[in-house]
Chains A and B, each alone.
Chain A
Amino acid sequence: MTRELLLDASGVAKNYGAVAALSNASLAVGAGEIHALMGANGAGKSTLVKILTGAVKHDTGQILIRGKTHRVNSPAEARRSGLVSVYQEPAIIPDLEVADNLRLTETPIEPFRHWVSELGVNDLDLRETARNLPLAVLRVLDLARALAIEPDVLLLDEMTAALPADLAEKVLDVVRRQGTTSRAVIFISHRFLEISALCDRATVLRDGATVGVVDIEEGVEERIVELMLGPAADGPEQPASRTTTPISEQTSAARPRLTVSKLGAGTKLQDVSFELRVGEVLGVVALEGQGQDELFETLSGFRRPSSGTISIDGTEQRFGHPADAIRAGLVYVPSNRVDALLMQRSVRENIALPFCAGSWGPIDMTREAERVGKAIDRLQIDTRAQGQVQRLSGGNQQKVTIARWIATGVDTLLCFDPTRGIDIRTKRQIYALLKELAAHGSSVLVYTSELQEVQLVCDRVVVIFGGRVVDVFPADAADEPTLMRAAYGLPRLAATVAGQPDHAPA
């Protein structure tokens, strides 16, 4: 690299309490370069971006822009020193006119107009209130605003996600032309297709550290996936012994409980079809923002689908409210416990809530105590602080959200990342419980962001990319590298299909 380095960050580290979000990240971008920043969920991409744009401060490391130390305390300062970022969610105030939004960031109008038309939006009225414009247009405006201040380094986070194809094409075109100037672009994307078409080099993060910088060339996808995965894990977790073998063998023959067909919702969930069988734990794997949130919201009755159908035991269902989904046997455990719990109320009231939804009359306290007690025992909830759920530990809180449905009796359990941010022991207990439920004839659909744990709990896995199902694996073929490749939309390797036993057989 003989080019002048526009941005040179090295040894950047950031701790949140005891958790190291970044341990040793580096990123160097030269003039005229389009540089991809890659990493699996939780590798530290967003922390690095926040540090570069001044949203959070780093603990150690140095960041140079054009060779000068870059010390910023706010995105506005970052902008003045030549670094501008465009996020997935447009940073536009919806209740202001477009022109007022531009004034807020001191954006020159003429260059802005130029870039807007370059990006393919021709009939923009600056007096229009931002709220009235479609999201895709707002994202383009956000980008045009960034381009108008001619930043040295432009940072684009998932810029093309949820853009219609023609706009995405224009955006990529404009970004490509930035690469022919003396400026630079940092491009964050999960799409190899875009990266190989656009970028010159890629920096790969894993577990908070930069693990490699590669030139983009033919076949580099393999190398990047390898870097993101790291050295083969020395099997820290054995797949739990399958005490329920009969069921898992039955599953291929078992009848479907939940059939999802060509389901679409919002801009992200495009076309998803799969079957969840009786007695099965079906995993869902996807990178962030591939439509999995919309999928679970639709299945649990929080959101109406824009296309496609949901059938249970062969009967088509329409959910207008979660109560409809619950009646059909579909119950939901969201990843964020705060969404699911009455924090000021007791464990008992939290678990008994679905009963109260069904009947407003007097409660049979003895029967309730019995049902709640059984669910508490089964999940081994620590009830020392049961007066208020907010005094329980995170793991125990998550157990309460599941216990609620155990007490009601579960046909089909929808779990969205049920083990996010909880301790390993509780994690194991939850996995064991999900398997046990399936063994007793329930069906479980579980999205997890922790790929290495898929084999511990699932019978099969569907992988979603760009709002569509890209692959389905039986659990024994679903090791982490295979899932990672599939999650990035790469084709299967011939070798993995053979399914050599990477793990010791049970």
Chain B
Amino acid sequence: MSQIDTTAPPIGLRIRRLVRDQPLIPLIILLIGLVIILEILRPGIVNERWIANTIKFAIPLAILASCQTLTMLTGGIDLSVGIIATVSAFVMATQVTTYDPAIAIAISLIPALVIGLANGIGAGLFRVHPLIMTLGTSLIATGGLQVYQRTVLATGSAIPDSLAWLGTGRTHCIPNSLVLFIPLAALIILGLRRTGFGRLLYAIGDNENAARLSGVHSWKVIVALYVLSGFLAGIAGLVYVGLIKAPSLSLAVPLLLPSVAAAVIGGTSIFGGRGGYAGTIVGALILTVLTTLLTVLQVPEGARRILFGLIILGVTAAHVRLTEDS
């Protein structure tokens, strides 16, 4: 043993290296820790039903957080995803009274793609900072949604059974939304690692000049990225409305900041070039469990928000410290 001790680096350093190369491990440990705390505080709360519910609520958040992950990899951000999800959900719910659900869903994704395209053109072509660009389009979309609402006052709204099945349904305790989410997540994770487009997101976020030198037209990548982000946000809105079953003008807006937090907790660098979607998924789960935990503790709303903010800051700081090179 003593021989190993002299040749191998000290245990602390080895843990640091392991964490640096496998940043998912501490996140999963944190997630399990939160679940254990919850079980201790409320014995019996953690059962199949609770797990399925947690996953159901985490999925729309995880899809929205995928938009943040992808855009943050390039050094950007997409603050319009909350309203895009809301617009898609609202348009779908009001159109489904006139059209077939499939057509209503298709129609509802058009504004998502248009807003994404506007974001992409602004950020990629005119070099407006994505923060400002997506903030601007989200304000425009909020106003647009109010105008749209007046034109459909008489139509009423409905949630098609298919979306309700997807959003809330369970088959043998397994949430149906996993049918959509597992392939989607696999596509994003593999797409980031094994497609040229995914690699270019990292490249642009790491060093746009180097990407340019290698022949990358960044603006094309950025435009495609924000269109994709808009599309994913639209999908998230449809899943979420299937879960909440009450379309409103601010349905998914409260999910915006948690979506950023999930990506950051998951280890994606807001400065670009580093991170991935697997961490974001765990981040979304952590936030969902955390919300349950604070609710169970019956902390008053104000104190709950304070705690939520502090925990996000703490986790992010710890994660950055653990994964940075020492």
Contact = CB atoms under 8 A, between A and B. Distances in A.
Nearest to B207: A342
Nearest to A405: B214
A353 B199 contact: yes
Contacts of A327: 215
Interface in B166-201: 194-197, 199-200
Contacts of A353: 199, 203, 210-211, 214, 216
A159 interface: no
Given A356-B200, A358-B215, A387-B21, A341 B195 contact: no
Contacts of A357: 196, 200, 211, 214-217
B209 interface: yes
Interface bracket on B: 20 to 34
Given A354-B214, A391-B325, A404-B214, A342 B195 contact: no
A203 B27 CA distance: 63
A345 B201 CA distance: 12
Given A349-B199, A356-B203, A342 B210 contact: yes
A345 B215 CA distance: 18
A212 interface: no
Contact of A339 (B202, B206, B209, B325): B209
A115 B212 CA distance: 45
Q: Interface on chain B toward A: helix, strand, loop, or mixed SS?
A: helix
Nearest to A364: B194
Contacts of B283: none
Contact of A355 (B196, B197, B202, B209): B196
Interface string B218-229: 000000100000
Interface in A334-364: 334, 338-345, 349, 352-363
Contacts of B213: 300, 302, 322, 332, 334, 339-340
A56 interface: no
Contact of A354 (B195, B215, B217): B215
Contacts of B200: 356-357, 360
A326 B216 CA distance: 10
Given A323-B217, A339-B207, 8 more contacts: A323-B215, A338-B207, A340-B210, A353-B211, A354-B215, A360-B196, A362-B195, A363-B199
Interface of B: 21, 194-197, 199-200, 202-203, 206-207, 209-217, 224, 269, 273-274, 325
28 contacts: A302-B212, A321-B215, A323-B215, A323-B217, A327-B215, A339-B207, A341-B207, A342-B202, A342-B207, A343-B206, A343-B207, A344-B202, A344-B269, A344-B273, A345-B203, A349-B199, A349-B202, A353-B214, A354-B214, A357-B216, A357-B217, A358-B215, A360-B197, A360-B224, A361-B195, A363-B194, A390-B325, A404-B214
